Structure 1
Amino acid sequence: MHKTRALRPLLSALALAALSSATFAGSADPASAPPELPTDRLIVKYRSEASSTVLARAKDAATRRGHRLELLRRGGLGTHVMRLERHLPLADMRQLAREIAATDANVEYAEPDRILQAMATPNDTQYGQQWHYYEARGGINLPAAWDLTNGSGVTVAVIDTGYRPHADLAANIVGGYDMIKDTGGSNDGNARDTDARDPGDYATYGQCGLFSPSHNSSWHGTHVAGTIAAVTNNGNGVSGIAYGAKVVPVRVLGACGGYTSDIADGIIWASGGSVSGSPANPNPARVINMSLGGSGSCDSTSQNAINSARSRGTVVVVAAGNSNANASGFSPASCSGVIAVAATNRNGGRASYSNYGAIVSVAAPGGDTASGSANGILSTLNSGTRGPGNDNYAYYQGTSMAAPHVAGVAALVLSRNPSLTPDQVASILKSTARAFPATCSQCGTGIVDAYAAVVAAGGGTTPPPTNTVAEIESNNTGSTAQLVREGYTVTGSISSSSDVDYYRVNINPGSTLGVRLTPVSTANYDVYIYNSAGTQLASSTLGTGQVDSTSVRNNGTTVATYYVRVRYVSGTTGSGGTYSLALD
């Protein structure tokens, strides 16, 4: 019988990425940028008391853009709150505000009356190290999705090595089953039973075949389950993607991996099907995660089990494999009806180990500890080398880590719309995935986008967030530089010939900051990049209307802070002196 193994990650010690101290001041903000909601209001502050004639100028500016503007009320700071007849995108409202300010010297400032919302940022102490959730370049856009759902009402089966009752996970574990029939490799001394706890998947020399090497326990299932549904907002440890969901652990992998027959039974049982000799699963799973695999195309037993699960409405998510090869040569990644997941690194490109190919559906963060342990995926684990030890956390890498990101997002989608079929869930995940910011050939349709997927499932009425932010004055010096995430585009303006705009960006080790400055056709603006000591590293100084682009690479071993300066040379300023600054 064919044996399947956990897709073993490379282990690394728990570590924090050291942030470089910027001479210009400031530090990285780990919070994800929330979606910008349309608004129907403007705030206008006049230098002196505004008369009806002065207010008419603001109304005229709105009329020229085809809108009706009226005074709603006076604000507590001496401002005038103005209302349009309908909501407009923030970019349009900012443009209207600029035009109002440009046509009236008495306007001290004008700006959109933005609509803000509570943001679901967890208080878990190590959430800041889970870059794979919130970073604009390599993350899955998760915080915005949490404002809509946390996965409650959905059960996810983790078919793996079992689980440890980790303090940051146990509350979200329900039921479970040990499906390993062979006591020789089970390491728990018995065959199938209702105890899915992981005794360790260690093996001694020669245990798994002639001259087979020994290995320590991986606690693989515990790490996978933590990514899906670690207890969240408990002021401790890490966060889970679908932390309102429940996990049913199904133990199928022991010291030497697991038999296809056991895994197939696990698939059927987890999805609510009947397995001879085993009690019915009281918690049927809407999502199954299998971070396991072996070489060879999909076999009939695995395919039939997957078909059985899908017939009961269960979404099956599998890891594509860690062999840097075409996933068509691996099972169960090559089975029909599954969502096969490739792995990306922190820069959003294909992880060096990840399998690829036409059968891959989407990609998700799998990490790359070769560039630093903190560039891996942090989740729940156990300190024991053979048998169980203490609860701990560790960074792993692998498509084993990528798959549970997708399984967790699938749980969020189903929590928002339980009526969706497996094919509909797969279609949503693939159609809403965001474009790769780095090379990831044959990695599916993109990096899974939690917020966009939830919205597409019926999770909200607001449009998905875009990676665009507006310039915030005053940012005329390095010490007041506006913090912008890598992967975002700034919409800014040059108000006068003396106006200078500074932005600061934190770049990971080994990553390249690319800068592209697009001015209006009637302006000539130049762009420069400096390090934290103020030394100029790169620049682009092309002529009027031309796009300036330049880049700099962080060759260090820690996060580096760079400063991007936009300088006026000639041409248009004021309300028409706009530019787009892409930081990628």
Structure 2
Amino acid sequence: MEEVNFGKKHSHSFFLQKSQELIAVRSQAGKKLASALCCEQAHQAIGDSERVMHIEDADVQVFKLPPDSDLSKRKALLRELPDVRFAASVLVDPLTQEPVLYTENIFLKFTDQLTPTQCLVTLNELGMTIKQQVPYAANAFFVHNKDCHGTDVCSLTLKLLEREDIEYCHPEILRQGQRRAIHDNQWHLKKTTVTYQAQIDASANVEAAHEFAQGLGVVIAVIDDAIDIDHPEFAGPGKIVGAQNFDRRNSKQGPRPKNALERHGTAAAGVACANGQVGASGVAPRARLMPLKLTKPLGARAEADAFFWAADNGADIISCSWGPAEGHWADPTDPRHTQTFPLAASTRLAIEYAATKGRNGKGCVIFFGAGNGNESVDNDGYSSHPMVIAVGACNDQSRRSAYSDFGKALWCCFPSGDQPHPDPKFKPATSIPQTRGVRTTDLSGKFADSSNGAFTDLFSGTSSACPGAAGVAALVLGVNPMLDRQAVRQILADCCDKIGHADDGPLGHYDLNGHSHYYGHGRLNALRAVHLALERL
């Protein structure tokens, strides 16, 4: 077992074990792994294996070997290939057996009392080479020790953490993330008759709020897989600001998608701030969009860099419809339901930088989708961070969406879809009628769907709820830009409609503070939020 602890201040140790059936392979710099693995020797090593993970930016692939394979022999075969940088064993989470990759980069933060010179001297004494001095925390660095290889980096960081002058120290741990997704039809924005069949009155009352505010002057940063910034709903002078791609291999194309699979961010951005001039309006159609492409695994150095970039380049609001992998919403026996996911120290500090230093000290308002596992959001280090607003999903019947995560950290809900899983072996506890998703932007241009054009009616999950809530915050700041982060957070609690259903049970009940485990403070009411913001002028 290898132990990892992210730091003393937010101490959370977790243990990883070496897998006997997984092997990680990485290409040499400037080489393509796919080409390197085309030869006969590579076929002998992994030709009968299943690829279970691919980190494109670093060109690392993880393969699952057949039972009773000789792991050492296969690694040796791969290491002989000239274009293979390394072939190594893989650490896994003991609970779920999911792969957890690590690099030999170390995140290290000294206590604030040390001077910059003392930090540099100590790093030199420890044999550390600086790869990056991070800008979002004092005395913090990504470093590398040339004499430390493989899993030795885990024991080294634990030993360093015992020093009184070091506050955080851990390897760069990479885990596979998960996107939070499962016009007249925009039922989530207004009371409407959908496709001339059914009248729906379960919206966030956004259309009425547009009489007073549409997000003018507010910048919403959407951190996601890619954003189609050429979409007609994101057109117009000044609509796109601060665009950035944090993936090295495709940085020149900006945040644009490189294939038709990278469509999640476009849909999320549309929910937040699409112009509404062609086929779908965002909650805050006059807000500006800061599209930030991030496809690296959770915990990567670039993840923290994205939050710092957003805060330092003028974002008022940050929307993140992604997070740790979760259990199947309808399978109560899935072990991932009880898995805790701690936040890397680098990401934690970057989030706290954005929440306290952004907007000239008033703080960026940061949203995360609560998750789609029908499990406790309190186990998710991203959504449950106290400076984050965790957003759940409610459906077109004013009930919690069956998949939506719940718990103490859930702050509010926003309308989204509720699609029961078609697999017959998964039976929900109660009968859940199938409900509709949200209409928003989809890929345009060469990646557009021929049947739906550049729009979709199927966006769902807390992936959709999160940017919806971010859009409501943009309406609030549009009418009262002097509000700080905490004031916006409180307005979003005070504006909510207390929705629920008799079948919800105790978790659906609202306590004396107006909070429910299923709904947070309830479903956002955009008109009431704008009125509350105006009252504070």
TM-score (normalizing by structure 1): 0.50
Question: How far is the alpha carbon of 1:303 from its aligned partner?
Answer: 1.6
Instruction: Determine whether 1:145 maps to 2:216.
Output: no
Match of 1:290 in 2: 320
Question: Structure 1: 5+ residue runs without aligned partners?
Answer: 11-126, 184-189, 201-215, 273-280, 462-584
> For 1:175, what is the secondary structure of its paired residue?
coil
2:527 alignment partner, one of 427, 436, 451: 451
2:306 alignment partner, one of 252, 266, 274: 266
Q: Compared with structure 1, are the counterparts of its residues 325 and 384 closer, same or farther at alpha carbon in structure 2 (3 Å cutoff)? A: farther
> For 1:426, what is the secondary structure of its paired residue?
helix
> After superposition, what is the alpha-carbon deviation per residue over 1:344-392, rounded to whole angstroms, capped at 9, x for unaligned?
111111111111100011111121234888710111002799x666752
> For 2:282, what is the secondary structure of its paired residue?
coil
The answer (yes or no) to whether the contact 2:392–2:462 under 8 Å persists in 1 is yes
Match of 2:115 in 1: none
Question: How far is the alpha carbon of 1:393 from its aligned partner?
Answer: 1.3
Match of 2:283 in 1: 241
> For 1:342, what is the secondary structure of its paired residue?
strand
Separation in structure 2 between the aligned mates of residue 430 and residue 358 of structure 1, nearest angstrom: 14
The answer (yes or no) to whether the contact 1:4–1:260 under 8 Å persists in 2 is no
Match of 2:497 in 1: 434
The answer (yes or no) to whether the contact 2:225–2:265 under 8 Å persists in 1 is yes
Question: How far is the alpha carbon of 1:330 from its aligned partner?
Answer: 1.7
Q: Compared with structure 1, are the counterparts of its residues 451 and 459 closer, same or farther at alpha carbon in structure 2 (3 Å cutoff)? A: farther
Q: Compared with structure 1, are the counterparts of its residues 264 and 194 closer, same or farther at alpha carbon in structure 2 (3 Å cutoff)? A: farther
1:253 alignment partner, one of 295, 298, 307: 295
Match of 1:161 in 2: 225
Question: How far is the alpha carbon of 1:451 from its aligned partner?
Answer: 0.6
The answer (yes or no) to whether the contact 2:299–2:344 under 8 Å persists in 1 is no
> For 1:430, what is the secondary structure of its paired residue?
helix
Question: How far is the alpha carbon of 1:343 from its aligned partner?
Answer: 0.7
Separation in structure 2 between the aligned mates of residue 197 and residue 373 of structure 1, nearest angstrom: 33
Separation in structure 1 between the aligned mates of residue 383 and residue 235 of structure 2, nearest angstrom: 29
Matched pairs, number: 307
> For 2:189, what is the secondary structure of its paired residue?
helix
The answer (yes or no) to whether the contact 1:155–1:246 under 8 Å persists in 2 is yes
Identify which range, 434-443 or 424-433, moves more after superposition.
434-443
The answer (yes or no) to whether the contact 1:4–1:293 under 8 Å persists in 2 is no
Instruction: Determine whether 1:217 maps to 2:261.
Output: yes
Separation in structure 1 between the aligned mates of residue 204 and residue 302 of structure 2, nearest angstrom: 33
Match of 1:7 in 2: 179
Instruction: Determine whether 1:197 maps to 2:262.
Output: no
Separation in structure 1 between the aligned mates of residue 404 and residue 223 of structure 2, nearest angstrom: 20
Q: Compared with structure 1, are the counterparts of its residues 449 and 367 closer, same or farther at alpha carbon in structure 2 (3 Å cutoff)? A: same
Question: How far is the alpha carbon of 1:4 from its aligned partner?
Answer: 5.0
Question: How far is the alpha carbon of 1:228 from its aligned partner?
Answer: 0.9
> For 1:420, what is the secondary structure of its paired residue?
coil
CA RMSD of aligned residues (A): 2.5
Question: How far is the alpha carbon of 1:308 from its aligned partner?
Answer: 0.4
Separation in structure 1 between the aligned mates of residue 397 and residue 433 of structure 2, nearest angstrom: 13
Question: Structure 2: 5+ residue runs without aligned partners?
Answer: 1-172, 192-199, 326-340, 421-431, 509-515
The answer (yes or no) to whether the contact 1:6–1:160 under 8 Å persists in 2 is no
Match of 1:379 in 2: 440
> After superposition, what is the alpha-carbon deviation per residue over 1:469-490, rounded to whole angstroms, capped at 9, x for unaligned?
xxxxxxxxxxxxxxxxxxxxxx
Q: Compared with structure 1, are the counterparts of its residues 301 and 5 closer, same or farther at alpha carbon in structure 2 (3 Å cutoff)? A: same
Match of 2:23 in 1: none
Letter in 2 for 1:304: L
User: What does residue range 166-177 of structure 1 map to in structure 2 within 5 Å?
Assistant: 166-171=231-236, 172-177=239-244
The answer (yes or no) to whether the contact 1:4–1:259 under 8 Å persists in 2 is no
Instruction: Determine whether 1:319 maps to 2:349.
Output: no
From the CA coordinates, give the structure whose radius of gyration is larger: 1
Question: How far is the alpha carbon of 1:263 from its aligned partner?
Answer: 1.7
Separation in structure 2 between the aligned mates of residue 180 and residue 199 of structure 1, nearest angstrom: 12
TM-score (normalizing by structure 2): 0.54
Letter in 1 for 2:479: R
Question: How far is the alpha carbon of 1:218 from its aligned partner?
Answer: 4.5
User: What does residue range 349-360 of structure 1 map to in structure 2 within 5 Å?
Assistant: 349-360=399-410
Q: Compared with structure 1, are the counterparts of its residues 460 and 238 closer, same or farther at alpha carbon in structure 2 (3 Å cutoff)? A: farther
> After superposition, what is the alpha-carbon deviation per residue over 1:231-276, rounded to whole angstroms, capped at 9, x for unaligned?
12x3x3011110110000000026xx5553212110110111xxxx
The answer (yes or no) to whether the contact 2:180–2:369 under 8 Å persists in 1 is no
Separation in structure 1 between the aligned mates of residue 317 and residue 180 of structure 2, nearest angstrom: 22
Q: Compared with structure 1, are the counterparts of its residues 8 and 413 closer, same or farther at alpha carbon in structure 2 (3 Å cutoff)? A: closer
Q: Compared with structure 1, are the counterparts of its residues 260 and 137 closer, same or farther at alpha carbon in structure 2 (3 Å cutoff)? A: farther
Higher helix share: 2
Separation in structure 2 between the aligned mates of residue 431 and residue 179 of structure 1, nearest angstrom: 36
- Percent sequence identity over aligned pairs: 31
Runs of at least 4 residues off by over 6 Å: 371-374
> For 1:289, what is the secondary structure of its paired residue?
strand
2:185 alignment partner, one of 129, 141, 145: 129
> For 1:250, what is the secondary structure of its paired residue?
strand
Q: Compared with structure 1, are the counterparts of its residues 460 and 132 closer, same or farther at alpha carbon in structure 2 (3 Å cutoff)? A: farther
Separation in structure 1 between the aligned mates of residue 217 and residue 444 of structure 2, nearest angstrom: 31
